[in-house]
Amino acid sequence: MHVDGQPVGEGAESASAGDLIVLLATLTDEEKISRWVIQLRAMPASDGAQPEGSSVELHSSTGNKWVLTGAKSPIEVTVLRPLAKRKTTNLLWSDEDARNAGLWGVVSTNLKLKDLSLNKTQYKPAVSKTPFSDERVKSDRAAALTLGITAGEELSHYMALPALTEFLSLIVSSPELSTMMARVVDLSYFTALKERNGGITIETLPYMSTVSAQRLGVAGADKAYVLPLSVSLGKKTIMLCQLALVEPHPPFQVSTGLVALAAGHPDGKGPVLTIELVGTVSAMNLVAQ
């Protein structure tokens, strides 16, 4: 992913082979509790094995330009069921652009937009495959600078849905985890969401916030962004979930910056799924040693 304009920072760099995220998934259904350990590891791409992607050039109304390369890299998904002594491993080709952008920009941008009522700044960002007029760019860039919204936040806000579906694709790639997810939501809805059809909509809820990353047990980040979401089919809400996100610096690109998740039915009944970070390994730190 190439970026012009304000710098995106380290989060634009792709995950290095060897970067590892370890998650604990817990499904609570009344008094029954089931747990799985999930390992997401960035793997080296074999020569000739990498799927070809097509690049797309995007322009924002603030004057930033991004080239999404469409590159895919392999992620090894290992699922362990400790008590059952079962282990499965899958290898998936995952969209680097979506993983590198992450979802954190949805929260950080929206929190800054709350200042609109205070400084009366007009800011309605947009993204297109063609450049915007000089007048529009001048106005929106000035507003973005006033609010302190960076190119990285802007891109993450735009790429949030692809990043979320990329993470969920990794999780449901395992038959065991797919079965686990199906206890909370019909997986045909996820397929419809990924293919951008079927009447599935995801909406942010007005309780976004930031918390100390240390409070969540996340090392290597100062703060985490809390993103509550509702998932609807037509006019019916089928799931509520809350995500905890960090900027996707290494090694967090492997999980699109997602470090925790809680999901359940909107009526509060039925199974509840939680996913939380329990460990990371950065390939860069290993090389440094």
pLDDT digits (tens, 9 = 90+) for 207-234: 899 999 888 888 878 899 999 999 887 7
Average pLDDT over residues 149-170: 91
Residue 164's domain comprises 2-288
Q: What residues form DSSP beta bridges with 58?
A: 66
* pLDDT given at position 81: 83
- Has residue 173 got a pLDDT over 80? yes
Contacts of 71 (CB under 8 A, 6+ apart): 14, 50, 53, 95, 96, 97
What percentage of the chain has pLDDT greater than the value 90? 45
Could you give the number of structural domains in the chain?
1
Average pLDDT over residues 229-244: 88
Sheet containing 2-4: order of strands: 2-4, 65-68, 56-60, 127-128
* pLDDT given at position 250: 87
Average pLDDT over residues 164-190: 81
- Has residue 64 got a pLDDT over 70? yes
* pLDDT given at position 189: 66
What percentage of the chain has pLDDT greater than the value 70? 83
* pLDDT given at position 3: 40
Average pLDDT over residues 17-38: 91
pLDDT band (50, 70, 90) for residue 171:
confident
* pLDDT given at position 86: 78
3-state secondary structure of 165: helix
176 vs 75, higher pLDDT: 75
pLDDT band (50, 70, 90) for residue 6:
very low
* pLDDT given at position 214: 87
Q: What residues form DSSP beta bridges with 80?
A: 37, 87
Per the prediction, the chain carries an average pLDDT of: 83
Contacts of 151 (CB under 8 A, 6+ apart): 3, 5, 6, 7, 8, 60, 62, 64, 66
